[in-house]
Amino acid sequence: MTRFQINANDPHSQARTGTLMTGHGPVQTPAFMPVGTRGSVKGLTPDQLRSTGSTMILANTYHMMIRPGAETVRDLGGLHRLMCWDGPILTDSGGYQVFSLSGLNRIGDEGVQFASHVDGARIYLDAETAIRVQNALGADIIMCFDECAPHPCDEAKLNKAVVRTLRWARQCRAAHENGRQLLFAIVQGGVDLALRSRCAQELMEIDFDGYAIGGLSVGEGHEAMVATVEHTAPLLPREKPRYLMGVGMPADIIAAVRAGVDLFDCVLPTRNGRNAFAFTQDGPIRLRNAAHAGDTAPIERDCPCYCCSNFSRGAIRHLFNVGEMLGPTLLSIHNITFYQRLMADIRRRIQNASFEPWAAEIILRLQAQSGNCRL
């Protein structure tokens, strides 16, 4: 049974707010999940992460399976204890690594054989294994194993990826044994809307606790991504949560919320933070630029985060220039806070019916600013 309640609907779009109940507490949606790939959100303590307003985080099945291993995580008290995080956690299935580590794997209809990126050891991952590992990790939400096709992709290869995704989804449903974990399926199909429709329909016939839209933000561009999400999201059950995987530019998030998406994750806030890029309402800032050397202003004047409350742009630039690890930590705190403030603003605007005019204006402004903030 899916524990998801819709609280408000925007009268002029598909946007909605909701409450997703998990075994480790509620999540107010639309929500953004920081990524803790290897069992930690890079550079941040759990207390620092909580201070940003984050309520749910993500970890990666493939990487946790390799090191320290699912059984070790279980013996250490599960993923929540390992990460010292008492809120909800979502684990992806490892399916994205089928795409991102394509040079190290061989895909078959039954599963994927990897050469470990750590030591080259042979690893076999299939639907049953992905579920067994995620059951052992103990996350609140787990994902079906899927195949994410590259972009561009020829029709035959894209169709085969959808067929495998559907096959593996059925196997995942059958293998899932932990009723305390919500199991989400993943809709694939690239930017082929007919394939997206087919995949969504067949997944809904199997019946899952929630549905994700995968295979985007792989080079298709903002307009194609938005068109695919606008087509796919309304196909999915209204009463169940919808999750857009790996899409994290602010303009992309707002556009997807308009289409009815509830959950997001992306590495951009922390990856950009580690590279001296800061998100602000006035556009991205490159802190390594000499223009900030004597700047006494915070990253963003109205931001309540620890970084903006205590450090100037000039001080942060110095930390990066001398290689102090505090610099990446401070900008990661700020960037995640920026994202969580954005999500809170989205929820507030949906609830008071002011979301749509704001969204149309802000997307245009953010797109004009976005050229400098992808890394």
| Residues tagged active-site | 92, 265
18 touches 261 (CB < 8 A): no
**Intra-chain end-to-end CA distance of the chain, in Å:** 39
126 by Cβ neighbours in 10 Å (0-12 / 13-18 / 19+) ranks as: buried
Instruction: Please name the residue ranges forming H helices in 54-192.
Output: 61-66, 70-75, 79-83, 95-100, 127-137, 155-175
122 by Cβ neighbours in 10 Å (0-12 / 13-18 / 19+) ranks as: exposed
Helix (H, G, I), strand (E, B) or coil at 141: strand
Helix (H, G, I), strand (E, B) or coil at 94: coil
Alpha-carbon distance of 54 to 327, in angstroms, equals 20
Tokens for 197? 């429709």
